[in-house]
Amino acid sequence: MRLKRFAAAAIAAALMTSLAACASDSPNNTEETSGAASDGEFPITIEHAFGETVIPEKPENVATIAWSNQDVPLALGVSPVGFPAASWGVEDGSGMLEWTKAAVDELGAEPVLFDETDGLDFDAIANTQPDVILAAYSGITEEEYNTLSQIAPTVAYPEIAWTTTWRDVIKVNSTALGMAQEGEALAADLEDLLAEKRAEHPDIEGLTAGFFYGGDATDLSTVGFYNTSDPRSAYLEDLGLAVPESIAATQDQSQFYTSISAENVDQLNDVDIIVFYGDQAALDAWKADPLLSQIRAVQNDSVVLLGTDGAFAASASPSPLSIPAYLDDYLTLISEAAAKVQ
């Protein structure tokens, strides 16, 4: 299957990249589509946060915006005419994360890379003359959606910005392409892969984990973590980890991120493993802080360091191409952290 061919290329690249650089279906964001969507017949109607989008015929020119949406058509053998240049996680200057680039190279494609540094480049998007714009995982506003819809039928996120799971990104984007069945097969392959790899790491099953941001060591007055509505945290559940009660109780599901005062970090002592956007220097700052050092996972050093940039850090936000590229590496580090849990 295409997934396996692209994964092999991505994994080969991953093995040359330093790690120091950077199980169950999610109930969130299940979108609705018209009956025609299931068999790829057009027109197709997709409901989303801003209403519904009708795609009149099978799109030939596919554009994507925001993060990772391009990986769905690429995994299905469709090369987008344009998608955003990745400004984070890229290590070769190509503007593409390594798993995306591997798929693009295999297809022999030359997509336009949009610069989203200062927001959406509507002119560049329009110049690719897309038949559809995929934005299932994004944070676009209704105003931006309306502008994009003047260029081409645009498919926004199902409910809440930046909370669409990798499963629903596949489902929404493949449906928009008239490839719903192929999308289901792709998701099933990934489910099988996750199940296989979880079985290789029974030591982490059921331990609790939280996904924390630790990149700003200059301000330790608050502790920030990603809610389970965020795909990064939801991915930890896919790996066999459980949601700590402290995080489940404090999060606002309408947001993807929560922070609490450092004075209340004792609430986080039910977190067995911390997955940490940050490097060793940032973790050392937590260990030296009189409050943050009291967190049980920090005391145990049961922390997975993702780094502050690079492909490995980027892979923690899952896509159909990034999952097979770095799954083994991710599980290995989580397993090492699990061995330190007390």
pLDDT tens, N- to C-terminus, the chain (342 residues): 334 333 433 333 332 232 222 323 333 333 333 333 445 799 999 999 999 999 999 999 999 999 999 999 999 999 999 999 998 999 999 999 999 999 999 999 999 999 999 999 999 999 999 999 999 999 999 999 999 999 999 999 999 999 999 999 999 999 999 999 999 999 999 999 999 999 999 999 999 999 999 877 888 999 999 998 899 999 999 999 999 999 888 767 677 889 999 999 999 999 999 999 999 999 999 999 999 999 999 999 999 999 999 999 999 999 999 999 999 999 999 999 999 999
Task: Check residue 251 and give its pLDDT.
Answer: 65
Asked: is 44-192 a CATH 3.40.50.1980 domain? The reply is: yes
Name residue, tokens 């990104």: 169
Task: Check residue 22 and give its pLDDT.
Answer: 30
Question: In Å, how far are 10, 144, 196, 232, 307 from 327, measured between CA atoms?
Answer: 11, 34, 11, 13, 16
Task: Check residue 255 and give its pLDDT.
Answer: 78
- Assigned token pair, 326: 């770095």
Fold identical between 44-192 and 201-339?
Answer: yes
Q: What is the pTM of this model?
A: 0.87
Domain locations in the chain as residue ranges: 44-192, 201-339
Question: Span 201-339: which CATH code?
Answer: 3.40.50.1980
Can you give the C-alpha Rg of the chain in angstroms?
A: 20
Task: Check residue 193 and give its pLDDT.
Answer: 98
Task: Check residue 253 and give its pLDDT.
Answer: 67
Name residue, tokens 């996904």: 211
Task: Check residue 19 and give its pLDDT.
Answer: 26
Rounded Cα–Cα distance for residues 279 and 264 (Å):
23
The residue type of 72 is: V
Asked if 68 contacts 137 with a C-beta cutoff of 8 angstroms, the reply is yes
